[in-house]
Structure 1
Amino acid sequence: MDALILQTAASGAPVTAVAGTFALFALFLSLTAHIAVRNVLGDVELKKAFAVGPVPAAIAVVFTTFGWNSFVALALAIGLDFTLVKYLYGRSNRLSAYVVFIHFVVTVILGFVLFGLLVILTSAPL
C-alpha cells in the first residue's frame, strides 16, 4: 500500500509512468493473444483480443505495485486468460487451454526477442 501512496503523493509523473506501462503491456498482450488465437483457430476478430490483453496486464501491475507473490499473479493471470478465451471465443476447455498455452509461449518468445533487441540497441556505442 505504501508504494501506491508514494506514487500518488508525488508529482503526476510516476502515475503516468505506471499508466503508460500498463497500456503498453496490455497492447503487447493483446497482440500476442491475437497471434495465438489466430494460429490455433484461424480467422478471428481482432477486437476480441483487446478484451483479453488488459486483464493479465492489470494483474501484473497490481501485484508488482503491492509486492505480492509473482507466482500467484502468474497463476491468476493464466486462469483469467483461460476464462476470457473460453468466454469470448466459445470453444471447449481443451481448445481454450491450448490457446492459452500458445498465448503464453508467444508472449515469452516475443518478449525475449524484443527485450534482447532493446538491450542491444541501448548498449550500442554512439
Structure 2
Amino acid sequence: MDALILQTAASGAPVTAVAGTFALFALFLSLTAHIAVRNVFGDVERKKAFAVGPVPAAIAVVFTSFGWNSFVALALAIGSDFVLVKYLYGRSTRLTAYAVFIHFVVTIILGVILFGLLVLLTSAPI
C-alpha cells in the first residue's frame, strides 16, 4: 500500500501511474516472451506474445500495489505464463516449461541491462 501512497503524493493521479506501469511492463513482458518463444519454438506469430505479457504484468502490479507476498506473485506469474504459453502455442509440457524458463531468464537479463542504462543516463553529469 505504501507504493500506492507514494505514487499519489508524487503525481497526484495514482490510477494513471498504475495504468502506465502496467502498460509498460505488459509490453516489456510481451517482447521478452516473443524473444524466448521464438528462440525455443522457432518462427511463431508475434500477436500471440501480446496475449502472454499482460497477465504476469497484472499479477505483479496487483501484488505490488497491495503489498502482498512477492514470492507468491512470482510463482503465480510463472504459472500463468506456463498456462498461456501451453495454450497459445500448443507444444509439449516439457518444451513449454523450457520456453517459460527462457522467458524468465531473458526478462531478467534484458531488465537488468535496461535498468543499468537508465541509471547511467540519469546519473550522468550535465
Aligned residue pairs total: 124
Instruction: Tell me how far 1:12 sits from its aligned partner.
Output: 6.3
Amino acid of the residue matched to residue 16 of structure 2? T
- Partner SS, residue 13 of structure 2: helix
Alignment-derived partner of residue 43 in structure 1: 43
Q: In 1, are the aligned partners of 2:7 and 2:17 still within 8 Å (CA)?
A: no
TM-score by length of 1: 0.92
Structure 1 stretches (4+) deviating beyond 3 angstroms? 1-8
- Structure 1 portions without partners, runs of 5+: none
**Matches of 1:65 and 1:80 in 2, distance apart?**
19
Summarize the alignment of residues 97-108 of structure 1 with structure 2, pairs less than 5 Å apart.
97-108=97-108
Q: In 2, are the aligned partners of 1:7 and 1:15 still within 8 Å (CA)?
A: no
TM-score by length of 2: 0.92
* Cα distance change, pair 124–35 in 1 and its aligned pair in 2 (3 A): same
- Structure 2 portions without partners, runs of 5+: none
Instruction: Tell me how far 1:4 sits from its aligned partner.
Output: 6.6
Task: Quote the sequence identity (%).
Answer: 90
Q: In 1, are the aligned partners of 2:37 and 2:99 still within 8 Å (CA)?
A: yes
